[in-house]
Chain A
């Protein structure tokens, strides 16, 4: 490395330390920026920003946008854009709300809060989202209308389809089981959270071990054992630390009392219980893992990235790029429906303006997360981290008491700045 020749010995050894760990330096930069952001807000809010309660709220507020951002990565990687995700979310939310408040209780005669209601509503919503997404993809892939135009039209169309479906009314309250997806209304409790945390940790470590083994089996160079151990320890700290933090957020006493009353028991004296991992966050983690596997380990993911890198090459290599476009947009629609379920469950009702401006948040999250609009480059974890940064910025400023117009000005400026930093970073590292 010629460019490190002049620098001091210390920085060189640190560089080689990072190299040995084989961690993504770009990811490290994002995590660094995020940590700094959190610490600054924590100082300005007199320590209220990094409380278990606020971390819990931040994570459930991020889920909806983060879910869609994972899909947006694939869309942008294939050199398309989807401006209709917020409106699509509204349509899916409206469909699910109407299904559980009108279709199942009245038309099917299942009544209110039937155990079948939530699954039926969810399945109908997901099918609806995937179908609309596939339709968008067909317009883009087969009829070759630019995605920008298709989804700009869709932004208007689906927002108002949602309006039409509900006559513009707020639909609620939603089904009790459905509301479990919303966050605070559905958490795993302390024991369940620890179990999930340990299972996740074991899975992550097994993945590390099997990756190393597979490399060794083919005689590829592997990183030293200590580097693997450090990486494993880091993963353990992050996973278990996150669980501990969410478990530390205590359910208020009167709410606990009501929970015991509902079960016909009385609460023991001095009893306390933490919230633990919300189901919506668990869903996001699950989606993130699945989407990462799709991106890296499946043919579909390979073709998505190859098409983004060079559409002609992909086509000449026998990839059906038109069908691929339909699949990518259908996946986006499916994730919009999932996000719609989480968003409406969190509010406990469907409102006419649900998901407004989400398309901008989702695209911003993906772009801040390192997805290149030129196509071919992007990561799922980056997009989720991007969503988290955006949400932290927004709610952190609200907690500090920044005026509403300034909040939006800052968020907009940060988006542009993040892309500029990304461009400079890519230029310096020589990556494309």
Chain B
């Protein structure tokens, strides 16, 4: 069981963000503790990704605050988020297709020689090390990422998030483009990272997967938070009802 007695690793408090009059996220509060996986569920357009982008620095919330380790955090751009050890694996993977795995892994954080030049050999060596752990079958170190399969691209994106000692990991549908074997690999990785005490936000459409991988599930509908439940105390049908009907199961509502 996750210990929720201390300060939460992340606390999103009363976040709202609107795009041209449409409230994409409407006064939502979610928290995350060390060693915990919180699933974010909801229909397309429910506001999950938008909410999480306020934490990863891609968007700036209109109102509300982000607290990291109990302290108020100012996140204006992705660089700030990285400064708080927040790493994100985007649904689109956010890889530069024309560059190789090492260049993508270190994009924005290149290893340089004392002369200030990029140290390609060391970056490739580090990439080989981390990929050897994540995906031992990975061989295409010198090919542009566009030449890789979906699973290989995914492992590059995951390697990038894991390599830099993330404390908080955001995964936006990490298994959407993967086959069963690779999905299993991601599941194992999540369990491993959880053990190391990372906090993980997992955005997913697959209710069964959320029930299997997550400790808690936060369900959103039309920009509002329906509720946050412990997955062990509810059935998949309960969660589905929350997603579709937008109301909490009766035995928890009280």
Contacts and interface: CB of A to CB of B under 8 A. Distances in A.
B107 A319 contact: yes
A430 B97 contact: no
A74 to B, nearest CB: 14
Contacts of B176: none
A258 interface: no
A220 B118 CA distance: 17
A306 interface: yes
A218 interface: yes
Interface residues of A, number: 33
A315 B78 CA distance: 8
A215, A298, A313 interface centre (most CB from chain B within 10 Å): A313
Contacts of A432: 97-98, 144, 146
Interface stretch (B33-41, B120-128, B200-208): B120-128
Interface in A237-272: none
B117 A318 contact: no
Nearest to B90: A316
A317 B121 CA distance: 21
B191 interface: no
A293 B112 CA distance: 13
A297 B123 CA distance: 12
A305 B96 contact: yes
Given A306-B99, A318-B77, A376-B96, A218 B90 contact: no
Contacts of B56: 316
B175 interface: no
B98 A317 contact: no
A143 interface: no
A314 B96 contact: yes
Given A215-B121, A218-B121, A302 B92 contact: no
Interface string B198-241: 00000000000000000000000000000000000000000000
Contacts of B155: none
Nearest to A374: B98
Interface string B58-99: 100000000000000000011100100000101011111111
A310 interface: yes
- Name the residue in B88, B108, B118, B125 with the highest tally of chain A Cβ atoms < 10 Å from its Cβ: B108
Contact of A299 (B94, B97, B110, B124): B110
A328 interface: no
Contacts of B244: none
Nearest to B77: A318
A218 B99 contact: no
B78 A316 contact: yes
B103 interface: yes
Contacts of A431: 144
B68 to A, nearest CB: 17
Contacts of B99: 302, 305-306, 309
A298 B118 contact: yes
B136 interface: no
A302 B112 CA distance: 12
A34 B82 CA distance: 48
B95 A313 contact: yes
A312 interface: yes
B118 A306 contact: no
B6 interface: no
Contact of A305 (B78, B98, B147): B98
A318 B121 contact: no
Interface in A362-406: 376-377
Closest 10 CB pairs of A and B: A309-B96, A309-B98, A376-B98, A317-B108, A313-B94, A318-B108, A318-B79, A306-B96, A317-B107, A297-B117
Interface of A: 214-215, 217-218, 220, 293, 296-299, 301-303, 305-310, 312-320, 376-377, 430-432
